[in-house]
Structure 1
Amino acid sequence: MMEHVASYYAASANPHAPYPQLKGAIRCDVCIIGGGFSGLSCALHLVEAGYDVVLLEAFRIGWGASGRNGGQVVNSYSRDIDVIEAHYGQETAAMLGGMMFEGAEIIRQRIDRYAIACDYRPGAIAAALTSKQFSALREKQKLWQRYGHQHLQLLDGEAIRCAIGSERYVGGLLDRQGGHLHPLNLALGEAEAVRRHGGRLFEQSAVTRIEYGQPATVHTAQGCVNASLVIVAGNAYLGDQLEPRLSRLSMPCGSQIVATEPLSSDMALSLLPDNYCVEDCNYLLDYFRLTADNRLLYGGGVVYGAQDPADIEARIRPLMLKTFPQLKKVRIDYRWSGNFLLTLSRMPQFGRLENNVYYLQGDSGHGVTLTHLAGKLIAEALRGDAERFDAFAKLPHMPFFGGRHLQVPFTALGAAYYALRDRLGF
């Protein structure tokens, strides 16, 4: 039986009973493949709307990126709205711009409605390491304000040093409608909400084959689900074989995180006095925040192709100490990695494989908020209003150059170029 990775989140998860393994044949309106945020968001929106939903998870609910990520609630997309407008036109930018703050609001609504204990705290800072990055944040504030987001505060050099106990940053942008949380507990809470609405969830039930048709049949090792509609939401953990039409369009990438021993209240307050989460503005960015028990959780780095590094602490601890040298003697209690799914455009890929088979994938690092929006869009589409879903589905879904064998070296080469630009301050 595959359990959650040995992370801080797994060690501090709310008590939860396992869901059963699928055995035998069952029927439903909608079968969802994947028990992360994408699948859970779809399931919860659909059961609230009265659909009979079955969700199949290969391992445990929140086993993948949804239960391992940095826990940061970050608005917008991996490509901001000005880039979207330049590449896809004003009409598409207007449609997507109207949705780019919606995912975070859905999360807050879920937490409130279902009383999910996941340590949510408001406030997220994008921190600039150079004056050029700070100028870009000033332009981002103006851009987001054009799209109706008024909860932003530009932080100059003095203000950023009051918000972050580090000398690295020249400024920042505080988004009061961003925040941070315990992602595995959010996933577990959403799963319980699905169950309470009558949804059926199965763990240790990896999908082996999809038999397309009307209805479609989704097969596992010990059972099958006959469903009028299927939603494929496996993201970075879908694998290459189940649906090659999806795997060729994206690439799993690994990110690494460490969590320190619990810090004293004075030390924690000296690092992040307002308990905001932070990510820097580099292409290969660092991100960090405090947990509810005053650990510093620090992440960064990208491994293309999603292979786990041999020594996570050796990779991440130097990054942490560059930001907070005062933590030199602090012990690391947890270290883990997890995969997110990268697309060539850095934009999400939503669409239909068949008339009754939908897919959601490729959030490219913005999965916490975007997955929650995606579930709402799927529910709208199934009710007959597909305009917002189709705004994403119409975006070009381009395969990586060189196919599956060359996508890792090509992407790593491009990332090295941008990392050099970060170091040189270009």
Structure 2
Amino acid sequence: MANTPYPQSYYAASANPVPPRPALQEEVQTDVCVIGAGYTGLSSALFLLESGFKVTVLEAAKVGFGASGRNGGQIVNSYSRDIDVIERTVGPKQAQLLGHMAFEGGRIIRERVAKYNIQCDLKDGGVFAALTPKQMGHLESQKRLWERFGHTQLELMDQKRIREVVDCDQYIGGMLDMSGGHIHPLNLALGEAAAVESLGGKIYEQSPAIRIERGANPVVHTPQGKVRAKFIIVAGNAYLGGLVPELAAKSMPCGTQVITTEPLSEDLARSLLPQDYCVEDCNYLLDYYRLTGDKRLIFGGGVVYGARDPANIEAIIRPKMLKAFPQLKDVKIDYAWTGNFLLTLSRLPQVGRLGDNIYYSQGCSGHGVTYTHLAGKVLAEALRGQAERFDAFAELPHYPFPGGQLLRVPFSALGAWYYSLRDRLGF
């Protein structure tokens, strides 16, 4: 039987030790079968177990194998399209509910870390960095918007102030969100998986779902076993493949690239990011970076539409890092990897139900660390019969990519080129 290991990332190399988890080789009965052991699946499983459900999780590779164990590790509030866009799309009533949920995911992460003693290098503080006056104006509007929904841990920074928190002369200002922050993302997923098992949940690795029998009593088939369940939660996101064709039609896997330096000296690390905040810039195709627990710089950016793996990741990302921090020109890169996220045309997550008993959440569009933790809570509420918050997401409109699956990659790349050009020209 195939054994899919973690990619050769810094996160996999520095992961906390975990017990071996078997592949499913029998038939099991459960209340809820969760497909995917990333953040959405693990969050759903935890909330359901805490509510008394019997839960079985199927993972095609290893816990946190996909985006949950490869991302930049930044806790960023709201969604990939902000609350004002949602308000214009669906009106004030639905936007009010979604707006108040926009800051919940980060709180859930911190509650999980505290409750289950998860060792994942959690640090508070995230910076949005503006390169142009237009971007600074957007941050000023964003602060007013977020404060309207009760989010007040925000500070606008002028050019002098932002230089106190990041040693980069590209930025004219920014916004600090102290409810943002950063984590070792794979260790967070591994800690949540251990919490699932501590509550009696079962996790099977190397157990891809290859077929779903739909109906009143659905069955999920793996190569060597099957799970009979009352409910199914589909949480495969960009790694779901063609298991559920309806979900593949309105989404597109995309790749993002990340590099990690060798360990930096204490003085150099402190000079780059004196308060140890994480940073992302305000460009459409943004760069993001932070320090690890052992004082490496993690730097990510770029998008590959259609999720192809670039031949030389370091060649793509290192110039971006050196543009921000030319003082790192002699620093060695120890790790470089790519990971997929799932993009929707609206850039808003897709949540819904197929039939009476198959629930799903997908399409975080690069904004998934906090949203996926909220999604798990919302899905668990729906299975308990409390569907108001689930319905608020499920009623968001979603659209197929222009040109269908054949042309979605070139059309999306063309759109990204246009917005990147606007960023470079300061429009």
Give the partner amino acid of 2:111. Answer: Q
Give the partner amino acid of 2:121. Answer: D
Show CA shifts across 1:338-371 (max 9, x none). Answer: 0000000000000001110001100111110000
Q: Which runs of 4+ in 1 moved over 3 A?
A: none
After TM superposition, give the deviation of residue 295 of structure 1 in Å: 0.2
1:93 pairs with one of 92, 95, 98? 95
After TM superposition, give the deviation of residue 421 of structure 1 in Å: 0.2
Separation in 2 of the partners of 1:208 and 1:121? 38
Does the residue aligned with 2:360 lie in a helix, a strand or coil?
strand
Separation in 2 of the partners of 1:64 and 1:204? 13
Partner of 1:164: 166
Show CA shifts across 1:157-212 (max 9, x none). Answer: 00011111010100000000000000000000000000010001000000110000
Show CA shifts across 1:231-279 (max 9, x none). Answer: 100000001x211100011000000000000000100011000000000
Partner of 1:341: 342
Residues 382-393 of structure 1: pairs in structure 2 closer than 5 A: 382-393=383-394
Give the partner amino acid of 1:315. Answer: I
Partner of 2:108: 106
Separation in 2 of the partners of 1:276 and 1:406? 39
Partner of 1:51: 53
Partner of 1:214: 216
Partner of 2:22: 20
Show CA shifts across 1:25-68 (max 9, x none). Answer: 11000000001001000001001111000000000000000000
Show CA shifts across 1:285-339 (max 9, x none). Answer: 0000000000000000000000011100000000000000000000000000000
Show CA shifts across 1:107-136 (max 9, x none). Answer: 000000000000000000000001110111
Partner of 2:249: 248
Show CA shifts across 1:134-160 (max 9, x none). Answer: 111011111111110110000100001
Separation in 2 of the partners of 1:144 and 1:172? 15
- Structure 2 gap segments, 5+ residues each: none
Partner of 2:332: 331
Partner of 1:291: 292
Separation in 1 of the partners of 2:69 and 2:272? 25
Residues 124-135 of structure 1: pairs in structure 2 closer than 5 A: 124-135=126-137
Separation in 1 of the partners of 2:216 and 2:354? 13
2:7 pairs with one of 2, 5, 8? 5
Greater shift in the superposed pair: 78-87 or 321-330 = 78-87
Give the partner amino acid of 1:99. Answer: M
After TM superposition, give the deviation of residue 73 of structure 1 in Å: 0.3
Separation in 1 of the partners of 2:13 and 2:114? 24
Partner of 1:422: 423
Partner of 2:400: 399
Residues 137-286 of structure 1: pairs in structure 2 closer than 5 A: 137-239=139-241, 241-286=242-287
Partner of 1:40: 42
Separation in 2 of the partners of 1:358 and 1:144? 29
Separation in 2 of the partners of 1:397 and 1:418? 21
Separation in 2 of the partners of 1:174 and 1:124? 6
Separation in 2 of the partners of 1:389 and 1:87? 17
Separation in 1 of the partners of 2:413 and 2:125? 32
After TM superposition, give the deviation of residue 213 of structure 1 in Å: 1.1
Residues 290-369 of structure 1: pairs in structure 2 closer than 5 A: 290-369=291-370
Separation in 2 of the partners of 1:384 and 1:37? 22
Aligned length: 425
Show CA shifts across 1:2-34 (max 9, x none). Answer: 111000000000011221100111100000000
Partner of 2:74: 72
Separation in 1 of the partners of 2:155 and 2:370? 20
After TM superposition, give the deviation of residue 87 of structure 1 in Å: 1.4
Give the partner amino acid of 2:423. Answer: D
Does the residue aligned with 1:47 lie in a helix, a strand or coil?
helix
Scaled by the length of structure 2, the TM-score of the pair is 0.99
* Identity in percent: 63
Separation in 1 of the partners of 2:386 and 2:360? 17
Does the residue aligned with 2:309 lie in a helix, a strand or coil?
coil
After TM superposition, give the deviation of residue 423 of structure 1 in Å: 0.4
Give the partner amino acid of 2:231. Answer: L
Separation in 1 of the partners of 2:209 and 2:84? 39
Partner of 2:375: 374
Q: CA RMSD in A?
A: 0.5
Separation in 1 of the partners of 2:92 and 2:20? 47
After TM superposition, give the deviation of residue 397 of structure 1 in Å: 2.0
